[in-house]
Each structure stands twice: as C-alpha cells, then as structure tokens.
Amino acid sequence: RLSNWSLIDARKEHRLAEDMVKRLQIKTTSLDLPVASMSGGNQQKVVLAKCLSTEPVCLLCDEPTRGIDEGAKQEIYHLLDQFVRAGGAAIVVSSEAPELLRLSDRIAVFKGGKLVTISSDADLSQEVLLSLAS
C-alpha cells in the first residue's frame, strides 16, 4: 500500500517502482525516465507493472503484444505465465492466433459480435481458429 488516506508515501512508491523494474526486467537508465522514451516492449512492461502492483486476482489484456518485437513478446508471455502459475487469471484479447494458442487454456471465438465457440486450446489449431473467426 502506497498511501495513508490520500497522501502517497514517496519512499514506498520508489521502492515499489525499483522492485517492478527489477522483477519485470524493464530496461531503463532511471526511474525518472519518461515512459514514452522507452521501447514499445518496455512501455508494455511498465503498463503490466502498474497493473501487477495492485496485486490483482485477474488481468484483462487487450492486444498485450501488438507492435512489439519478438523478444519483448516472449518476455510478456513469460510474465503472464508467472502471474497465472501464481494463482491469477488472465483474460487475453488478441487478433493473433499463435498468441492465443500460446497463452490460453480456453479460447472463446467471436464473429460479428456473436459467440461462435468456446474451446480448449487442445481442440484448436491455428487453421481451425482462423476459420472459425472469419
């Protein structure tokens, strides 16, 4: 907890930021560096760090790896895997079939705003998933 009533404890905030930078391996030269000056992958990790700092039970991730390089994608996948293994739930919305198959144990497919199917990822291939969605 960072505050008592409405006052933020700057030391606690700084310690939490340092912990998250280390835990999520955010590449930065300073905690004071503007997030906008970071790479897309590190920006995504900052967003994830902000969410994780609230100790959520569930994360809702909308296109969590859109526009970032493959290395950063793998890091985000690893962080989401860790969160789920620790008992959290992650709901991932993605237009990338391989990402959904990599991250999900169940996949809901929507087409034209209507639910087409809910299936375990073991029942779906990338081809089947794409054919259901198109």
- Quick one: pLDDT at residue 7? 81
Distance, CA of 129 to CA of 134 (rounded, Å) = 9
118, part of any domain: no
Helix or strand holding residue 15 (H, E): helix 10-23
Q: Is position 129 within any domain?
A: no
Q: Percentage of residues in the chain with pLDDT exceeding 90?
A: 37
Q: Is 2's pLDDT higher than 70?
A: no
Residues 6 or more apart in contact with residue 51 via CB below 8 angstroms: 59
Beta-bridge partners for 115: 110
Range of the structural domain that residue 99 is part of: 3-103
Give the CATH number for residue 55: 3.40.50.300
Residues 25-31 have a mean pLDDT of 90
Q: Average pLDDT for residues 35-50, to the nearest whole number?
A: 91
pLDDT at 92: 94
The string of pLDDT tens digits covering residues 62-92 is: 999 998 889 889 989 999 999 999 999 999 9
Q: Would you say residue 19 lies in a domain?
A: yes
> What is the tally of structural domains in the chain?
1
Residue 86 is assigned to a structural domain of this protein: yes
